[in-house]
Amino acid sequence: MKKIISTDQAPGAVGPYSQAVQSGSFLFVSGTLPVDPVTGAFAGDTIETQARQVMENLKAVIQAAGLSMASVVKCSCFLKDMNDFTAFNGVYAGYFTADPPARECVQVARLPKDALVEVSAVCSAD
């Protein structure tokens, strides 16, 4: 059985998908973009500002499910430019100060709305 998780504290889906789906003790959070949920615009044009907004959006969806960032067991990180890897890690590390989740971080040809970064996550309520 699955439960759809949605919040207005993060941008809505830009396609036929849910912000997150809870199934059993797992929460699967869709890729989040650096869109400010209040304005609908990108939070900025640098990797740092976009990464911070992505992580805040991710956190908002996770909290809407009653979980915290400590429940994240796996992230998938997509960068427009791998030259942004170090700067992205600087922001990302601030959200996982102890026992960071497993992850991959890859460069992709293009992201929705030409974002610089997108991150998805899997969480465990256990």
Residue 86: DSSP 8-state:
H
Say how far apart CA 66 and CA 90 lie, in whole Å: 26
Q: Tell me the pLDDT of the chain averaged across its residues.
A: 96
CB 19 within 8 A of CB 61: yes
CATH topology of domain 2-124: 60s Ribosomal Protein L30; Chain: A; (3.30.1330)
What average pLDDT does the segment 84-89 reach?
98
Residue-level pLDDT at 13: 85
Residue-level pLDDT at 106: 98
What average pLDDT does the segment 4-13 reach?
95
Query: Which residues 6+ apart lie within 8 Å of 13 measured at CB?
Result: 19, 30
CB 32 within 8 A of CB 17: no
Over the stretch 10-54, which tens digit does the pLDDT of each residue have?
999 878 999 999 999 999 999 999 999 999 999 999 999 999 999
| Banded pLDDT at 4 (limits 50, 70, 90) | very high
In terms of Cβ atoms closer than 10 Å to its own Cβ (0-12, 13-18, 19+), residue 17 is exposed
Total-model pTM: 0.96
Q: Which two tokens stand for residue 110?
A: 């293009």
- 3-state class of 88 per DSSP? helix
Residue-level pLDDT at 14: 77
Domain residue spans in the chain? 2-124
